[in-house]
Amino acid sequence: MLDIRYHGHSCVQLTSGEHSIIVDPFISGNPLATTALSDIRVQYILLTHGHQDHILDAVELAKQNDATIIATFELANYLAWQGAKTMALNLGGSAAFPFGRVKMTQAFHSSGMVYDEEQRIVYLGMPGGFIVNIGGKTVYHAGDTGLFGDMKLLGERHDIDVAFLPIGDVFTMGPEDAETAAEWLKAKFVVPIHYNTFPPIQQDGEAFIARLKEKRIDGQALKPGESIQL
């Protein structure tokens, strides 16, 4: 059994038995979040890329739980310098963990921290996504990305039970491209992410799911704090 809890934006928590992991924790800065950061218990933190709306709470959460952050080499080092326990994993690589296995996939986006006052940008490596095997299920978190053809390959090589796909547009795929991604991935269940957190990425998640169901693809637009079991 796999419990999937959506914390808003791109933040997803996966729990199976005693094992719990979280992807892209952005709680304290998310106006739509319903869960207090102090209430989250995880052993691993997966980061798709180094933008603030994906890594804001990673170090605090890692220290709070004595959890390990899994991220690209550059991002892992950047956060280790801030006192977090980290493990580097790069695009195409995979590794085994007590809960299962993680493989990092490509994504087409950018990655870095912007320090406006200093007019400085810190490059934090390539962006990515994750294929996670946990609780007998295969989960795909696309991260922030545009549509790319190799999603077809991911669908052919992995029997994906649930896919988390960005639909916000402007900075990632919009709903139309995400619909195509869902078809290519052949996921049994799709959950939209990275939308409605801020005005530029307002979208209708229910309408997106309705269009998927017209194509016989199941899914659900989860509200922050909601969970499902697979």
| 230 falls within a domain | no
pLDDT tens for the chain, 230 residues long, are 899 999 999 999 999 999 999 999 999 999 999 999 999 999 999 999 999 999 999 999 999 999 999 999 999 999 999 999 999 999 999 999 999 999 999 999 999 999 999 999 999 999 999 999 999 999 999 999 999 999 999 999 999 999 999 999 999 999 999 999 999 999 999 999 999 999 999 999 999 999 999 999 999 999 999 999 99
Q: Mutual orientation of helices 73-80 and 58-65 as an angle, nearest 10°? A: 70
Full residue range of the structural domain in which residue 214 is found: 3-225
For the chain, the domain total comes to 1
| 144 falls within a domain | yes
| 108 falls within a domain | yes
* CA–CA dist 124, 21 (Å, integer): 22
pTM confidence score:
0.97
Q: What is the CATH number of the domain that holds 133?
A: 3.60.15.10
